[in-house]
Amino acid sequence: MEAFLKEFGDYYGYPDGPKNIQEIRDTEFKRLDKGVVYLDHAGSTLYSELQMEYIFKDFTSNVFGNPHSQSDISSATSDLIADARHQVLEYFNASPEDYSCLFTSGATAALKLVGETFPWTQDSNFLYTMENHNSVLGIREYALAQGASACAVDIEEAANQPGQLTNSGPSIKVKHRAVQMRNTSKLQKEESRGNAYNLFAFPSECNFSGLRFNLDLVKLMKENTETVLQGSPFSKSKRWMVLIDAAKGCATLPPDLSEYPADFVVLSFYKLFGYPTGLGALLVRNDAAKLLKKTYFSGGTVAASIADIDFVKRRERVEEFFEDGSASFLSIAAIRHGFKLLKSLTPSAIWMHTTSLSIYVKKKLQALRHGNGAAVCVLYGSENLELSSHKSGPTVTFNLKRPDGSWFGYLEVEKLASLSGIQLRTGCFCNPGACAKYLELSHSELRSNVEAGHICWDDNDVINGKPTGAVRVSFGYMSTFEDAKKFIDFIISSFASPPKKTGNGTVVSGRFPQLPSEDLESKESFPSHYLKSITVYPIKSCAGFSVIRWPLCRTGLLHDREWMVQGLTGEILTQKKVPEMSLIKTFIDLEEGLLSVESSRCEDKLHIRIKSDSYNPRNDEFDSHANMYALLLIMCCLTSAACNKFDFGCRLENRNEETRINRWFTNAIGRQCKLLRYSSSTSKDCLNRNKSPGLCRDLESNINFANEAQFLLISEESVADLNRRLEAKDEDYKRAHEKLNPHRFRPNLVISGGEPYGEDKWKTVKIGDNHFTSLGGCNRCQMINISNEAGLVKKSNEPLTTLASYRRVKGKILFGTLLRYEIDEKRQCWIGVGEEVNPDIE
């Protein structure tokens, strides 16, 4: 802290403000005292508790009415909306004589309004910087549909001082990429170019890299187009209008529209001060507004209309002409309290405070090295790390590398950060141009990634050895040095490899580092392996039941994960979404052919007849025409874009029975749902991590609703080693928690004997007379942090955090081994507790 203040003390913490940063955190963000480090302010900043108190007091002390009514209350609401418009204009130093403020549902809606009303012709051009949000890119659909051209451009800035337009030459050049046209037969005539309106769009700050664009672009494009576009097919085009996407940048350095008179500026208020969401604005120059062509009219935008003939007279004021329907007047009433907060701190002080933190983090990441000297971090858009340069906002975007130069997946970073209480953002942040540019992804690579199934928000963070996105941390006005320090400490402890040690230090044995030998229990030799327990989980994510002996079938243990609970919108419900599912107990009576389910929330047990004529392991397809669910999985080729979903076909002849079962589960988990049963014995697909259909590692056998494989095997010795690590790590944890039971990890098979993690090296294993193939380690998620103690569901960061410290391999946290059963078609197969376990080690 002392070193940080020595460099940034004049900028950090609002030294000249009404409150310093510590007072702000202590009085207005007490909810962050619970260990949360919030570093996604580029996505949405946080609202102040004091701000919300003012809003609540305002709402509970006053009455607001629809501004389209004529009552006193409605008139007062209209005045409040007018005052809010002036506040927005004032924030951007925009004169009401030159600009109007239109309220929208957000920055995206404001951009859409510009796109659909802009006076496009076949001679128009839409230029936009590569670093633009998808919501800006979407405008090109309107342009191309009207026969206009569209083109992405790169901004090249010379070493001239900011604000210097043209002396010996222009300081800014616009370099165009491929021109896009749908009307390929059109030929622009030079004489027609002067009549067409053209649009140039850029962000005040890139939401991917934090790079701030030179606002001189506004005047250059409007006044010196031929020079700045020299060498491009657009240099002769006139009548350029400029759009600034200020959604990201206006929280710290809002564009001064008196100096940079852009035609359109868009913003969202939740990016400024956290609340309200669902409200944004379009600032439009009044002369530009007159050129926009609006087709639709609605309540509030017409002065008069006649229902049965083609007659309408529209209102003339800009706001009334464009704002369809009743304004979101309660949300608009709330923004004055946000502006009051920003005004007390001032945007310039917020910029200095937040940027000091981002530069500190960038410098620390840039200097970070592995034990072998290799750089840990690759930063994007961070060439200039001087706070006075105004070149970047409070955003740090990066990827991390291993000592051998391969990439850590950004999802691994996000997963481990979450375990440490750090909330950040990963991916491309809806900015595909900046993402491709900084990650150096070619068009062929981008297309290949899509053809391989990669889409936004999926799990494919590294494809063909290259990252498909990045990690982003961003700071807000309430962020602190402690937040930044905790983040840096997390990166160092989780991703920076120290020099290898020997002797009493860390020893790498096999694929995973182990505890020093003195920390392990003293054993002259490890006993032979045997099967300690068998657990069947009939319903995915519900509690299972233990058995002494159980039949095997093509899908693993008979009836294991043969049912699942589905929400009304089609999502698969698991303990990660509904932890209370762990309280639902299950049992199957093979003799009676009954599945019994019970919950403390339901008075009666639920009995479902599974109607199995026998439990012959070679006959695992059951009659679906009695009082039960039959689930038909319609699988399709995952490489086909048209087949990216699978359909659940569910039919029940007895509707009363269906209603009874659905009602029971709805009561048990506290939300509307239904129970589905798997009935296919031919599919080789399984559910991936986001619970959509996907191919798992077990491609040679059938599975039911398991995530990855038929069986999960856990070793008692491995669990014991994990318990020792937990106890050694945290005495408070030792006092507050009982030792972990192997069943915390929801295994089908628990073995005893052998050495900790010896199962990592297994190739195949024989249990009794049955043969299994190892499919590798099980990738663990936060579900193992959910515990059921005395009928109460509790969540913590353990044991996943500790496992992450020593069981991470290529982005996965492995614990337990996945197995595939090699079915013997010649005999009925059972597996029993006490049977000897004989592994074939690699």
On whether the CB atoms of residues 65 and 77 are closer than 8 A, the answer is: yes
> Helix, strand, or coil here: 490?
helix
Nearest to 186 by CA among 233, 142, 122: 122
What CA–CA distance (Å, rounded) separates 187 from 782? 59
On whether the CB atoms of residues 214 and 244 are closer than 8 A, the answer is: no
On whether the CB atoms of residues 457 and 333 are closer than 8 A, the answer is: no
Torsion, CA 111, CA 117, CA 121, CA 125, rounded to 10: -20
Nearest to 317 by CA among 107, 82, 114: 82
The C-alpha angle 301, 304, 308, rounded to 5 degrees, equals: 115
Cβ-Cβ contacts under 8 Å for 411 (sequence gap 6 or more): 426, 459, 461, 811
- CA neighbours closer than 13 Å in the CB half-sphere of residue 710: 23
What CA–CA distance (Å, rounded) separates 475 from 397? 12
Q: How many CB atoms lie within 10 A of CB 298?
A: 10
* 59-67: Cβ within 8 A, 24+ apart: 59/330, 59/333, 64/329, 64/330, 64/333, 66/326, 66/329, 67/326, 67/327, 67/329
Nearest to 704 by CA among 769, 637, 633: 633
Determine how β-strand 125-129 pairs with β-strand 149-157: parallel
On whether the CB atoms of residues 746 and 538 are closer than 8 A, the answer is: no
Phi, psi (5° rounding) for residue 330? -70, -40
On whether the CB atoms of residues 165 and 468 are closer than 8 A, the answer is: no
List, edge to edge, every strand of the sheet that includes 594-598: 585-589, 594-598, 606-609
Both tokens of 511, joined, read: 């694929």
Nearest to 155 by CA among 180, 170, 176: 176
Both tokens of 299, joined, read: 């309540």
**Catalytic entry in 430, 542, 686, 778:** 430
DSSP code at position 170: B
What CA–CA distance (Å, rounded) separates 251 from 45? 9
Both tokens of 622, joined, read: 């059951």
Cβ-Cβ contacts under 8 Å for 223 (sequence gap 6 or more): none
The C-alpha angle 482, 486, 487, rounded to 5 degrees, equals: 120
Catalytic annotation present for 428: no
Catalytic residues: 430
